[in-house]
Chain A
Amino acid sequence: MSDTPIAIEVDCSTGIATERPLTADEIAARDAAAAAAAADAKAKADADAAQAAQLAATNAKLMALGLTQADIDALLKAAKA
């Protein structure tokens, strides 16, 4: 792999492919996009984890009230239908 990222552009009108190193601006934009994507992924993972924790806590409360896991599963299935 090259140290400097390469961009390939294929001109459909000529069929000619051109390879060139990314400009400094393009590298900065790429890095910013990578950071944004990582932040998006972390936010989604955090939200998924929070939702799973909430679900587990709710499940525990329902079982403390005397419902069985089968009861809770039936309720969830009915709610999703």
Chain B
Amino acid sequence: MANPTLFQLATTTVGAGGASSVTFSNIPQVYTDLLIKVSARDNFNSGQNENWFSLQFNGVTTSYSSIELTGNAGGTVASVSRGVLNSGIYTGDEPMATSTANTFSNKEFYIPNYTSSNYKSVSMDAVSENNGTLSGANGPKNTLLAALWSNTAPITSISFLDANGSSFVQYSTFYLYGIKNS
């Protein structure tokens, strides 16, 4: 097999006004896999210390499921199986208004065979940076996630939807890459 080649397809950085969602549309159907890198923080302000965003394909709000393995600053490791959440795939924690200033989450998604007529799998590894000022469940958290979109349509658009009616803050960044195996 030839060495895989990585192509940057699209990128965006959220401006001063914030954004409740980011969408990559008209994704070319000529690559083998997709790779996404996100660095995000949002403005949710509530009793909790972390918020999240969900991943949605083609604007479809059904047939997502996932299981995740998390580890937090308190040494707690947990496995959580989820069904549909916020109309897409839950993607682990991200810092919000009450988190340490200027900290962001870092998330990487891999979507193999995104043009196929089979169900689409997604893997993710992520860390929610919180700079160690909070311990236990509210501190930094790692998440490994495996997800499935039980839909046979090729993926032509990908949306990142911030949860709880909040918005991504300025300097949140989103990168989309195509990987070609030939």
**A and B pair up:** yes
Q: Which residues of A contact B (CB under 8 A)?
A: 1-2, 5-15, 17, 19, 22, 29-31, 33-34, 36-38, 40
How many angstroms between the C-alpha atoms of A36 and B86 in the bound complex?
7
Q: Quick one: which of B11-33 are within 8 Å of A by CB?
A: 11-12, 14-15, 17-28
The answer, yes or no, to whether B70 is at the interface (CB within 8 Å) is no
Task: Knowing A12-B176, A13-B26, A37-B85 are in contact, say whether A6-B17 is a contact too (CB < 8 A).
Answer: yes
Range of interface residues on B (Cβ < 8 Å): 20 to 34
Spot the interface stretch: B126-134, B146-154, B159-167: B159-167
Q: Which residues of B contact A (CB under 8 A)?
A: 9-12, 14-15, 17-28, 43, 85-87, 161, 163-165, 167, 169, 174, 176
The minimal Cβ–Cβ distance linking B166 to chain A, given in whole angstroms, is 8
A37 lies within 8 A of B163 (CB): yes
Candidates B23, B86, B87; contact of A7 at CB < 8 Å: B23
B15 lies within 8 A of A19 (CB): yes
How many angstroms between the C-alpha atoms of A10 and B25 in the bound complex?
6
How many angstroms between the C-alpha atoms of A40 and B25 in the bound complex?
29
A37 lies within 8 A of B27 (CB): no
B20 lies within 8 A of A22 (CB): yes
